[in-house]
């Protein structure tokens, strides 16, 4: 019995160490991308925080609750950090251009989503079908899809778009709107929420947008807190 207890404790400690290693790798990979992209400092930390707030709120309200019932929230939050991993292959001249992109440059920038999926697929092939990698793949591959079917990479429509991609679409755009860009100043929180709600049913899943609107005070508070602590 004593040996069984000791073995169980060893397995538990080993699992904890593997989780810590996984998180370390995720943070390091995400940090590599963010250090290259001079225009989106703090984006990864903020979107990860927003994802947790949004999922918690949806579960509380029973919105897509059945689909999320088996989700490991910690895994989802961690995997959110890899959503822009493909930016690592975008040329610096485009990634850090101090102004609006041309049509051709924007087409190149759009490839970061497909590149993210490709890189994560390679990781899955080499390490196995880990849950956090499956989550990361869905978020990276589908967060630029649009509810009306006019997005990329696959032109999916409505609930054809995996839920993680639809969630990330809202928080990714929100964080972009409330952040300074070389070609514009940040929008006020209220204006960013208004823009998102005006595009509910177009770019965004209207059910997710509605929950986001209902918890906008929590999102605003988290935004202020992270900027005050230097995550910008």
pLDDT at residue 165 tops 70: yes
**Which H/E stretch holds residue 9?**
helix 2-36
How many Cα atoms sit within 13 Å of 170 on the Cβ side?
32
How many Cα atoms sit within 13 Å of 72 on the Cβ side?
12
For 172-228, write each residue's pLDDT tens digit.
999 999 998 877 899 999 999 999 999 999 999 999 999 999 999 999 999 888 776
User: Between these two residues, 39 and 202, which has the higher pLDDT value?
Assistant: 202
User: Between these two residues, 230 and 101, which has the higher pLDDT value?
Assistant: 101
Which residues, at least 6 apart from 115, have a Cβ–Cβ distance to it below 8 Å?
85, 86, 87, 88, 89, 90
pLDDT of 209: 98
C-beta separation of 222 from 212 below 8 A: no
Q: What's the domain range around 204?
A: 2-228
CATH number for the domain harbouring residue 122? 1.10.3210.10
pLDDT at residue 59 tops 90: yes
pTM above 0.75, yes or no: yes
pLDDT of 44: 85
Q: What rounded mean pLDDT belongs to the chain?
A: 86
Confidence band of 106 (pLDDT split at 50, 70, 90): very high
Euclidean distance between CA atoms 118 and 71, whole angstroms: 23
How many domains would you assign to the chain? 1
- To the nearest whole percent, how much of the chain has pLDDT over 90? 59
Which residues, at least 6 apart from 184, have a Cβ–Cβ distance to it below 8 Å?
none
Question: What is the distance between the terminal CA atoms of the chain, rounded to a whole angstrom?
Answer: 53
C-beta separation of 122 from 136 below 8 A: no
């Amino acid at each position: 019995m004593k040996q069984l207890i000791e073995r169980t404790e060893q397995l538990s400690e080993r699992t904890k160490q593997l989780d810590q290693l996984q998180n370390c790798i995720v943070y390091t990979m995400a940090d590599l991308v963010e250090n290259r992209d001079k225009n989106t400092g703090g984006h990864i930390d903020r979107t990860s925080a927003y994802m947790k707030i949004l999922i918690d709120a949806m579960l509380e309200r029973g919105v897509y609750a059945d689909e999320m019932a088996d989700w490991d929230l910690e895994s989802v939050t961690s995997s959110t950090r890899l959503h822009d991993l493909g930016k690592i292959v975008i040329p610096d001249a485009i990634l850090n251009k101090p102004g609006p992109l041309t049509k051709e440059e924007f087409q190149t920038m759009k490839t970061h989503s497909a590149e993210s999926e490709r890189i994560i697929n390679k990781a899955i092939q080499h390490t196995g079908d880990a849950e956090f990698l499956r989550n990361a793949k869905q978020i990276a591959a589908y967060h630029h899809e649009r509810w009306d079917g006019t997005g990329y990479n696959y032109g999916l429509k409505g609930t054809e778009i995996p839920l993680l991609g639809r969630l990330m679409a809202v928080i990714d755009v929100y964080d972009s709107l409330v952040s300074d860009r070389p070609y514009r100043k940040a929008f006020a929180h209220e204006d960013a929420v208004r823009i998102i709600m005006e595009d509910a049913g177009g770019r965004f899943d209207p059910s997710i947008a509605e929950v986001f609107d209902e918890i906008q005070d929590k999102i605003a508070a988290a935004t202020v807190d992270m900027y005050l602590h230097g995550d910008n």
